[in-house]
Amino acid sequence: MTAKDHPFELVEKSIPILGEDEALVKISGCGVCHTDISFWHYGVPTKHELPLVLGHEISGIVEDGPSHLVGKSVIIPAVMPCGDCDLCNAGRSNICQKQQMPGNDFHGGFSTHIVTPSKYLAVVSDSALQGHSLAELAVIADAVSTPYQVMVKSGIHEGDFAIIIGVGGVGIYATQIAKIFGGKVVALDISKDKLDQLTQIGIKDCINTSGMKIKEIKNAVKEKCREIGAPPNRWKIYEMSGTKPGQELAFALMGIASTLSIVGFTMDKLEIRLSNVMAFDANIIGTWGCKPELYADVLKLVSEDKLTIKPFTETFHMSKINEIFQRTLEHKLKKRSVMIPDFENN
């Protein structure tokens, strides 16, 4: 069965009565993520039984709910923890096992409205909206906040050598954030078009790895390290591609006191020698979503024009969702797609 065999359908649903801790948000935009493609095409099960409205990268305006939020422009975090379990109390709320995720645990953002928990809604300031539409900022909910959290977890510092593998819809923001944190950044990808767009954010050190063997790439990365005066050890490596070759390369680049961060996801398995982690006294970390409390930091970077979003997103009317999902599946879109409602009742 292909994705064309199970298209999205337009369904009208009544708005339920809000619970005490819920808000009704009129959706401005909802980004298309690889996770949505996994649910839609690859059969990854959702926690909520089907049928289900997908979409977890959501921005909008609060129409009903807590009085201090009504009328506010908000980002709905992709991961909303319970705030009360052992993981939440240990500072690991992003992986809370009672978390609520739009488009997975409850109806998501490919709609005109959404009923969502209100506790963690991130208010968007007017200054953040000066250079962007609220719809464009929807990608903060995942594509921007996820790499932000992994930069924090990895402990990147001023002058660290930061290697970004894959500069697609998430990696493009990881590259910017690594630079904001003071990293000396080199970006790797097999796509010349994706690497070329980095000039818009001042990233000049890139390596097109298409057709290169791992040993050749390692030599090219070492040469870049020397050219930009980065330390020969303690490298920060960020795997964003979510591909087997990308993850194999990321592990191969790991060296003395390195930190390897896995952000991209693939079902493919790798054959690696874990003893390298011991021998290099290295770290490997994963990351899931982003803690709600970090969203304010991300929005501040946007409002201060330190983080650029607009050139790397493209909006489409939600009535085109089947076409956009198919084109996303076929890797025919260069930018992060954001679906915006265009129905008569919006």
58 by DSSP, 3-state: which?
strand
Average pLDDT over residues 202-228: 97
pLDDT digit string, tens, across residues 16-70: 889 999 999 999 999 999 889 888 988 889 999 989 999 999 999 999 999 999 9
Q: Give me the percent of the chain exceeding a pLDDT of 70.
A: 97
Phi, psi (deg, nearest 5) at residue 191: -110, 120
Average pLDDT over residues 64-89: 97
Taking the domains of the chain in order of start, what are their residue ranges? 3-142+290-340, 145-286
- What is the per-residue DSSP string for 83-128? SSSHHHHTT-GGG-TT-B-BTTTB--SSSSEEEEE-TT-EEPPTTT
Per-residue model confidence (pLDDT) at position 226 = 97
What is the dihedral sign for C-alpha 185, 188, 192, 194? Answer: negative
Contact 162, 182 (CB under 8 A): no
**Which token pair is 232?**
């020969």
- What is the per-residue DSSP string for 271-315? ---THHHHHTT-EEEE--S--GGGHHHHHHHHHTT-S--GGGEEE
Average pLDDT over residues 58-87: 97
pLDDT digit string, tens, across residues 123-157: 999 999 998 999 999 999 999 999 999 999 999 99
Domain pair 3-142+290-340 / 145-286, same fold: no
Total-model pTM: 0.93
Contact 111, 138 (CB under 8 A): no
User: How many whole angstroms separate alpha carbon 100 and alpha carbon 337?
Assistant: 23
Closest CA to 59 of 23, 19, 31, 80: 31
Residue entry with tokens 């070492």: 222
Per-residue model confidence (pLDDT) at position 331 = 83
CA distances from 235 to 161, 162, 230, 251, 260 (A): 5, 6, 9, 12, 8
pLDDT at 3 over 60: no
pLDDT digit string, tens, across residues 264-318: 988 899 999 999 999 999 999 999 999 999 999 999 999 999 999 989 999 999 9
The better pLDDT of the pair 334, 234 is held by: 234
How are strands ordered across the β-sheet holding 206-208? 206-208, 184-189, 161-165, 236-239, 259-262, 283-286
Per-residue model confidence (pLDDT) at position 115 = 97
Q: Give me the percent of the chain exceeding a pLDDT of 90.
A: 86
User: How many whole angstroms separate alpha carbon 69 and alpha carbon 24?
Assistant: 10
Per-residue model confidence (pLDDT) at position 135 = 97
Domain 3-142+290-340: which topology? Quinone Oxidoreductase; Chain A, domain 1 (3.90.180)
The alpha carbon of residue 117 and the mean position of all alpha carbons in its chain are separated, in whole angstroms, by 21
The CATH class for the domain spanning 145-286 reads alpha beta
Per-residue model confidence (pLDDT) at position 170 = 94
User: How many whole angstroms separate alpha carbon 159 and alpha carbon 179?
Assistant: 10
* Greatest pairwise CA separation for the chain in angstroms: 62
Instruction: Supply the mean pLDDT for the chain.
Output: 94
pLDDT at 345 over 50: no
**Which token pair is 326?**
């198919």
User: How many whole angstroms separate alpha carbon 79 and alpha carbon 192?
Assistant: 33
pLDDT digit string, tens, across residues 189-210: 999 999 999 999 999 999 999 9
